[in-house]
Amino acid sequence: MEIRNIAIIAHVDHGKTTLVDQLLRQSGTFRDNQHVAERAMDSNDLERERGITILAKCTSVEWKGVRINIIDTPGHADFGGEVERILNMVDGAIVLVDAAEGALPQTKFVVGKALARGIRPIVVVNKVDRQDARPDEVHTEVFDLFAALGADDHQLDFPMLYASGRQGWADTTLEGPRKDLSALYDLVLSHVPAPNLDTEAPFAMVASIMEYDNFLGRVLTGRVEQGRARLNMPVRVLRADGTVVETGRLTKLLTFRGLERVSVEEVGTGDIIAVAGLSEATIPETIASPEVTAALPAIPVDPPTLTMTFRLNDGPYGGRDGKKVTSRQIRDRLIRETEGNVAIRVTDSPESEAFEVAGRGELQLGVLIETMRREGFELTIGRPRVLTRTNEETGEREEPFEEALIDVDEAFSGVVVEKMSLRRGQMQDMRPSGGGKVRLTFRIPSRGLIGYHGEFLTDTRGTGIMNRSFIGYEPWAGPIEGRRNGSLISSEDGSAVQYALWYLQERGTLFVSPGEKVYVGMILGEHSRGSDLEINPIKEKKLTNIRAAGKDDAMLLTPPRRMSLEQAIAYIEDDELVEVTPAAVRLRKRYLDPHQRKRAERKSDSDAA
């Protein structure tokens, strides 16, 4: 059977996973009466909760006697490492662009990677049924984007379809019948080349996706680059330098049929397969027949730009909620993450029982922390820091920069420009985008965006949309002002009392409610002033014949400010930590003892002087 391998790439929320749903339905993969969840490819709990794709996944459909292997990729720049690996497995790509939003930063990122690989993309302008759709303008934007990214004449001559993934149709013109996705299937068959690989050479493939299965162990997915794979055949695993990692057998050989993985005896060249039976192999190593001595080339992945410190939970309530609380368990879990996620890097921290975890952005590391929390781990997380480097030619210190594309109502554009300027952002472009909105483009240091998203939503009354993408390293932009308000810090252990909180709420914004457990050094709120303030949240009213306990009913408290995990991580300062357990997310000072805090503060002041 003939094969076509394609990836669906696009900016976040432009409809990739929804389109794959329709491709599966219309190819006959599902029975007419079969119940299938919406966004069937997003099988991970976090993906379903957040409505985003985090992990690249493979599926397969048949059309006119040809098997089409489709890989659904993430849209967030933080998960760009997934996209880069996937492009090594495919011969074509469907670039999905929202008919209203147009080409956004992540579209530029993934398309640039695809064009550099020599792929000739198919462009699908999706969501043309939106009221604010502007398909012709978006077509021009995409052409300009391809030209700016250095596309050759063949790549610039891209075929284009108009589509609605939700309604399940694609057509060559806006006036077409809008029946189904036949036009997209046919275009894939005619435009995407079949794999042109050596069928006679010994078997070899590059591992591009790795996952764990409770029954099979390590499952590695990749494309057969040469030869044929057979069940139980002997193989060895090679690093890029030719070093042999391990030898073994392919105890399980799986191919993709719809959403299922089907066990087979043999697989030909060019097909995308999953193999099991190896205990050491990881991404992007080569799995090959014993006679192969050189590893296959693999795409280099862009380096991490952000790092956080993952520490043991040494707070007073450490070990009460989680089952995995030792530094050894944390280290083993982080090392296992790096094996399947090449965009993450783990090193030992100078602090005791702590590890430096570097990744692409706050979202990627936030997803890792949330996943570990649900697995029963307890952690304390330090403030995110950007990874700088020294330019070898000039000796200058350089830091990662990003392009931020912001769509806001015109009324809020002034405050956004002001806030971005304070964070060392430089405005590159400002243009109306229709409907009373304006599109702002900024070039800004990555550290300037740490913790800004929540403030941005507040400033724009929740109506602003900000998209960001890493563009490279540039000279250090100078100091950026941090949080202006200090913290309200507990000076006692116990349970917070309504009487005490009612008097304390005038000092700032509280993060806790009556009855919550608190401890010395825990952050209970944000001070209304710039300095930290120690408070007693467990102070109770002294009862007499005149002062009765019942009068507490009149003490109405303002509802506390609750933060999500990502918001908490973005909120803290350098001397603060986020305590993460399966049952709670708390803020605390790095040093819980007030005397130790003062000593550390004096030391940092003297170091700065």
Concatenate the DSSP letters of all residues of 361-413 into one string. -HHHHHHHHHHHHHTTB-EEEPPPEE--EE-TTT--EEEEEEEEEEEEEGGGH
Positive/negative CA dihedral, 485, 426, 366, 314: negative
User: Would you tell me the crossing angle of helices 362-374 and 327-340 to the nearest 10 degrees?
Assistant: 130
Domain with CATH 2.40.50.250 in the chain: 487-608
16 is in an annotated binding site: yes
128 marked as binding residue: yes
Q: Where do the CATH 2.40.30.10 domains begin and end in the chain?
A: 204-288
72 annotated to a ligand binding site: no
Ligand-binding annotation for 247, yes or no, is no
**Whole-angstrom distance, CA of residue 90 vs CA of residue 70:** 9
**3.40.718.10, 3.40.50.280, 1.10.630.10, 3.30.70.240: which CATH number matches 389-475?**
3.30.70.240
13 is in an annotated binding site: yes
Task: Report whether 453 belongs to an annotated binding site.
Answer: no
Return the number of other C-beta atoms located less than 10 Å from residue 426's C-beta: 13
pLDDT at 359: 86
pLDDT of residue 33: 42
11 is in an annotated binding site: no
pLDDT of residue 7: 86
Query: Per the CATH hierarchy, to which homologous superfamily does domain 487-608 belong?
Result: bipa protein (2.40.50.250)
Whole-structure pTM value: 0.74
* pLDDT beneath 70: ranges in the chain: 11-14, 16, 27-57, 74-84, 105-106, 299-302, 543-554, 607-609
Q: Please, where in the chain does CATH 3.40.50.300 lie?
A: 2-191
What architecture is the 2-191 domain classified under in CATH?
3-Layer(aba) Sandwich (3.40)
Place of tokens 């921290």: 349
Burial class of residue 350, CB neighbours in 10 A (0-12, 13-18, 19+): exposed
Domain with CATH 3.30.70.240 in the chain: 389-475
* Ligand-binding site membership of 18 (annotated): yes
129 annotated as a binding-site residue: yes
pLDDT the model gives residue 247:
92
Identify the CATH assignment for 204-288 out of 3.30.70.2190, 3.40.50.150, 2.40.30.10, 1.10.10.10. 2.40.30.10
